[in-house]
């Protein structure tokens, strides 16, 4: 599937009216910085049949920001995160998709940096540091190049820049509820020898709260994925570097 050059910021939303404006504001700031550099961009929100007032907020959003390309895809029935993301990946106008969950926040100053890295390396996944906020315990996620231990534990969050055609060619996100859709897509991309690039910069802010999605993998599901992609633990035991580290102002770092 061919898509135009540019960046689509994809926000799946289900009953996140209380924090959706924060995510949207960070997306708008990032879009304006891209526009200033001549990069085409849009915000696509996929509303997964919310019932908390999100739809009223989203209905008026485009009118409030006439200088920005804003679209909303309305799902009539709640299908879950994987299904919402797949709808977004198929409907985005541009090749590179910034996956921004409704309860997180983009670092707008650096979106241009990550887009440059994605273009210059042709990476299927371009990610960076995520600063954790919201629970009083400072933390850092997605803060190293991808290594073979990803077959044992998913430590790279989906809050990143994704090549939409590459992701769709790999089958997109699993849609059955309870599956580890982020981890499974990562493994399918690796099986297709897709490149994952870590950029040593802040991509955004990850908000941890009591109603956040589970970050720990249920062991039964984790075991299933290991059996599929890491038979006899041959891959995870290698310990080798799978991804690369790159900075547009410096070049390859690892």
Average pLDDT of the chain, as a whole number: 91
Average pLDDT over residues 184-206: 96
Asked if pLDDT for residue 217 goes beyond 60, the answer is no
Domain that holds residue 175: 4-252
What are the start-end ranges of the H helices in the chain? 20-36, 54-59, 61-64, 81-91, 111-121, 164-169, 181-191, 219-229, 234-238
Asked if pLDDT for residue 122 goes beyond 50, the answer is yes
How many folded domains does the chain comprise? 1
pTM (2 decimals)?
A: 0.93
Q: What is the CATH number of the domain that holds 243?
A: 3.90.550.10
Phi, psi of 202 (to 5 degrees): -80, 120
DSSP 171: T
pLDDT at 119: 98
CA angle, corner 188, sides to 185 and 191, nearest 5? 155
């Amino acid at each position: 599937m061919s898509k135009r050059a540019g960046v689509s910021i994809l926000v799946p939303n289900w009953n996140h009216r209380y924090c959706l404006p924060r995510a949207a504001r960070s997306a708008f700031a990032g879009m304006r910085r891209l526009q200033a550099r001549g990069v085409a961009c849009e915000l696509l929100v996929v509303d997964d049949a919310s019932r908390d007032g999100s739809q009223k907020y989203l209905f008026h959003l485009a009118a409030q920001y006439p200088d920005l390309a804003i679209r909303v895809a309305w799902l009539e029935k709640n299908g879950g995160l994987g299904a919402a993301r797949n709808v977004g990946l198929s409907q985005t106008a541009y090749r590179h998709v910034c996956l921004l969950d409704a309860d997180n926040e983009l670092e707008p100053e650096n979106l241009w940096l990550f887009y440059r890295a994605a273009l210059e390396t042709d990476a299927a996944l371009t990610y960076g540091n995520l600063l954790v906020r919201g629970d009083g315990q400072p933390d850092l996620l997605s803060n190293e190049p991808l290594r073979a231990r990803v077959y044992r534990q998913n430590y790279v969050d989906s809050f990143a820049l994704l090549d939409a055609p590459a992701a769709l060619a790999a089958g997109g996100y699993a849609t059955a509820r309870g599956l580890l859709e982020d981890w499974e897509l990562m493994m399918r991309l690796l099986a297709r020898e897709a490149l994952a690039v870590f950029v040593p910069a802040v991509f955004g802010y990850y908000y941890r709260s009591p109603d956040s999605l589970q970050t720990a993998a249920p062991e039964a599901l984790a075991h299933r994925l290991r059996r599929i992609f890491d038979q006899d633990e041959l891959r995870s035991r290698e310990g080798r570097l799978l991804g690369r580290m790159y900075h547009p102002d410096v070049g390859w770092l690892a």
